[in-house]
Amino acid sequence: MNAPTRTDLARGTGVDVDRIRADFPILARPTSAGKRLVFLDTAASAQKPRQVIEAEARVYETEYANIHRGVYELSQKATAAYDKARSKVRALLNAASDREIVFVRNGTEAINLVAASWGRKNLKEGDQVILSEMEHHANIVPWQMLRDAIGIELVVIPITDTGELAWEAYEQAFTARTRLVAMTHVSNALGTIVPIREVTRVAHEHGVPVLVDGCQAVPHMPVDVQEIDADFYVFSGHKIYGPTGVGALYARESILKDMPPYQGGGDMIASVTFARTTYADIPQRFEAGTPNIAGTIALGAAIDYVTGLDRQALLRHELALRDYATERLSEINAVRIYGTAPEKAGVISFTIEGVHPHDVGTILDFEGIAVRAGHHCTQPVMDRFGIPATTRASFGIYNDFDDVDDLIRGIARVQEIFA
Ligand code: PMP
């Protein structure tokens, strides 16, 4: 039997990439050097389909007003659309209730909210928070700020040479002072998919809640917070083909209802006098001030867009791209891939011997190929592998096998220049 061709591979995943690509106007625009855009930086931020762009424009054109305040029609329409977006996030994560969904600016703000609100209420000096060595800075720095403010301790679980969580170290890390596990679902630097259901199981055996950083998971795989049994789950809208400036925090209702506000102001109160303020119920208590109304409604459109596709097939497609790219990159002697966990998302971090990752990124850019070069906001991962940076190619639903071929050709060009 012949080896499968690239077309076979693409067909095998059951995804019509050409149809998907046609929804993303930016992909049809050549780069300023006249090249086809090969966008391989979806882990940093995803491109937007026309359906999302138009949804945001439609809000401003037809139903825009501030929410929760007006008695007039436009305000009521905007409020209804905003509330509907909350239900869409609830359904996306399979949360039990809309009350468990808080809109925030992004995943970073969601983690800061939990650290500032839940953390300051429930943690005291000497209490321990377990993190992993592969966390994004967004899931490190807020806990360090809390450490510096109130004296908690951070317990960091190492990662293995393949970029997996050192499982025994995790199981043994729990003490009588462990109060929280804060861990990524999928590593943005290595692609590792963490066995998060097992992570929550072990933590709950010790009576410890778990915050899951889902920024790299929600855009690429179905997520069920009840099945995962997460206590907190966060993600950013811009990585799931939605607009920038909106993200969500899921928190179990029994936990959220006992959390104090994060920011004070309009929309989060029940009543205010100079003597005393009482707060609104959840989730409004955590949404002070005018939110990103149009962006949130457009996030709802992004959720409609991805859930309108076959998400299992999309995942298969991204994993097929991952496998094909890994295979092609492995044929190049000078390339070393960081992150080789068997359970891995469509993220490939690599170095080319003798070439700085920034130079790789710059030369690929001349070829129309957008990749990320740097530490990916995961400096501890770079330290773990003793490197300053990597080049990272990451896939989204619009990437195809030609993109991988172009990447491989671009790397050959890098090697020619540096030969
Ligand atoms: N966590 C992970 C795993 C990420 O990949 C990112 C974005 N690179 C973040 C958190 C932070 O996301 P944002 O910048 O949208 O807040």
If asked whether residues 296 and 323 sit together in one domain, one would say: no
The Å distance, Cα 138 to ligand 1 centre, comes to 6
- Give me 128's structure tokens: 């321990």
Last residue of a domain, one of 307, 332, 364: 307
Tell whether 126 and 147 lie within a shared domain: yes
Determine the atom of ligand 1 nearest the C-alpha atom of 188.
5
CA-nearest residue, atom 5 of ligand 1: 188
Structural domain contains residue 301: yes
Of 267, 288, 307, which residue sits at a domain end? 307
Residue among 113, 136, 165, 185 to mutate when testing ligand 1 (max atoms within 8 A of CB) = 136
The two structure tokens encoding residue 67: 């929410």
Domain CATH for 142: 3.40.640.10
Ligand 1 centre from 107 Cα, in Å?
6
pLDDT value for 4: 54
| Model pLDDT, residue 248 | 98
pLDDT in tens, 167-180: 999 999 999 999 99
* pLDDT value for 69: 77
Ligand 1: distance of its center to the CA of 45 in Å?
A: 9
pLDDT at site 68: 87
Domain-embedded: residue 347: yes
- Point out the domain boundary residue: 272, 307, 342: 307
- Convert 145-175 to b/e letters by CB count within 10 Å (16 or more is b): ebbeeeebbebbbebeeebbbeeebbeebbe
Here the tokens at position 299 are 């996030």
**Are 243 and 370 contained in the same domain?**
no
- Residue 11 forms part of a structural domain: no
Q: Let me know if 273 is exposed, middle or buried by CB neighbors in 10 A (0-12, 13-18, 19+).
A: exposed
292 and 349 within one domain = no
Residue with tokens 């109060």: 179
pLDDT at 419: 85
> From atom 12 of ligand 1, which residue's Cα is the shortest distance away?
107
pLDDT at 169: 98
Counting as low any pLDDT under 50, the low residues of the chain are 1
Question: Does residue 405 sit in the same domain as residue 355?
Answer: yes
- Number of domains composing the chain: 2
For residues 249 and 398, membership in a common domain is answered with no
pLDDT tens digits, one per residue of 203-258: 999 999 999 999 999 999 999 999 999 999 999 999 999 999 999 999 999 999 99
Q: Are residues 71 and 194 in the same domain?
A: yes
Q: Are residues 28 and 118 in the same domain?
A: no
Ligand 1 centroid vs 369 CA: distance in angstroms? 22
Kind of pairing between the strands at 128-132 and 335-338:
unpaired
Tokens standing for residue 87: 């239900």
Contact (CB, 8 A) for 315 and 221: yes
Shared-domain flag, residues 28 and 84:
no
**pLDDT at position 14:** 80
Pocket of ligand 1 (CB under 6 A): 44, 106-108, 136, 138-139, 184, 188, 213, 215-216, 236, 377
In a domain, 244, yes or no: yes
* Domain annotation covers residue 6: no
Residue 42 Cα, ligand 1 centroid: separation in angstroms?
12
Instruction: Please list, residue by residue across 92-131, b when 16 or more beta carbons sit within 10 angstroms of its beta carbon and e when fewer do.
Output: bbebeebbbbbbbbbbbbbbbbbbbbbbeeebeeebbbbb
Question: Is 196 contained in some domain?
Answer: yes
Sign of dihedral through CA atoms 128, 130, 133, 139? Answer: negative
Domain that holds residue 364: 17-46+310-417
Closest atom, ligand 1, to C-alpha of 106: 16
* Peptide bond just before 283 cis, omega within 30 deg: yes
Q: What is the pLDDT of residue 8?
A: 56
Annotated catalytic sites, by residue? 377
Amino acid 269: pLDDT = 95
Which CATH number do you get for residue 341? Answer: 3.90.1150.10
Do 183 and 72 fall into the same domain?
yes
Protein residue with least CA distance to atom 14, ligand 1: 108
The whole-number pLDDT of residue 338 equals: 98
The dihedral over CA atoms of 105, 108, 109, 112, expressed in degrees to the nearest 10, equals 180
Is residue 247 included in any domain, yes or no?
yes
Q: Are 224 and 212 in contact (CB under 8 A)?
A: no
Judge whether 377 and 44 are in contact, CB under 8 Å.
no
Q: 209 in a domain, yes or no?
A: yes
User: What is the model's pLDDT at position 1?
Assistant: 45
Are 303 and 328 in the same domain? no
Query: Are residues 135 and 266 located together in one domain of the fold?
Result: yes
> Could you tell me the distance, in angstroms and rounded to a whole number, from the CA of residue 157 to the centre of ligand 1?
20
- Ligand 1, residues 187, 188, 235, 378: which to mutate, most atoms within 8 A of Cβ? 188
CA-based nearest residue to 318, from 224, 374, 246, 397:
397
Q: 113, 184, 216: which to mutate for ligand 1, most atoms within 8 A of CB?
A: 216
